[in-house]
Amino acid sequence: MFIKKIIRYLLQNKLAFVSKHYFSSSGFSLAMKNTQITSAFNKRAVLRQQKAWENLVKTKNIEARFDVKNLRSVVGENFTLTDSVLEVGCASGYNKSIFFQDFKEYIGLDISHDALILGRHNYSRVPFLQASSNSLPFKDNSIDVVLDGASLIHIQDWKQSISEYFRISKKFIVLHSVTLSSVSSSDLTKFAYGQRVAEHIFLESELISYIDLFEYKDIIKLKNGGYNLFDLVGIETNSYTWLIRL
């Protein structure tokens, strides 16, 4: 118990490495009290997820994945190394080493305490925050790039999260690996890395209609492929990565 308290204290103090000009006063208070937020992925699921991505990197199979290729092209063709990046749903932070290794300002945010403990261990100089995507602890227009790292499909109040992304982002919003259908929306429960999770399939027109409530220049839509859930939910689906340019 004593060791856990020390680790938790170290994780909280990592907030000191994030420039305070990003934070709203209430948001900073929320983030500092992050131990009160319920974890999403438990420790076992976090470790399995980390190992799976490590194996992909080691075997070079990661470059064959369309979702990886698409996100890499989005990052390489649109962002600069001086852009500040907030990844919502960062897990243990593995995307930092895959896509944002040379970026000067990368912040990882997740609701899973266990994921952030591992992230803090793997990337000692990276700031990690435990907070909800529905109430991001940042000032308006304070982050250049907000990356939703395949989290939106697991968020019940996804509209509030998108609203928060638009509120704090200055240049780009990336919705990575969103599951879309042109027929209807649907929900399912599946096992991810050994843990039961809920997943939402978006009706594409509904998602677009909500995004249209905000100001933006355009949306670049990249098809990740290989994610048709017809046998499970009875509708054709696929995975996409969207870049919203503000």
pLDDT band of residue 225 (cuts 50, 70, 90) is: confident
Each residue of 5-45: pLDDT tens digit? 444 544 444 433 444 445 443 333 333 333 333 336 787 88
Q: Indicate the average pLDDT of the chain.
A: 84
pLDDT band of residue 218 (cuts 50, 70, 90) is: very high
Task: Provide mean pLDDT across the span 63-69.
Answer: 86
Each residue of 128-140: pLDDT tens digit? 999 999 999 999 9
In the numeric block, which tokens belong to residue 141? 């227009």
- Cβ–Cβ under 8 Å, residues 34 and 113: yes
**So what's the pLDDT on residue 1?**
52
What are the extents of the domains in the chain?
2-245
Domain boundaries 2-245, CATH class: alpha beta
pLDDT at 241 over 80: yes
Phi, psi of 209 (to 5 degrees): -60, -40
- Per-residue burial over 203-239, b = 16 or more CB atoms within 10 Å of its CB, e = otherwise: bbeebeeebeeeeeeeebbbebeebebeeebebebbb
**So what's the pLDDT on residue 5?**
45
**So what's the pLDDT on residue 240?**
97
pLDDT band of residue 192 (cuts 50, 70, 90) is: confident
How far is it, in rounded angstroms, from Cα 70 to Cα 48?
A: 24
**So what's the pLDDT on residue 47?**
77
- Cβ–Cβ under 8 Å, residues 174 and 243: yes
Task: Provide mean pLDDT across the span 58-72.
Answer: 83
Task: Provide mean pLDDT across the span 205-221.
Answer: 98
- Give CA 222 to chain center in angstroms: 17
- Cβ–Cβ under 8 Å, residues 111 and 42: no
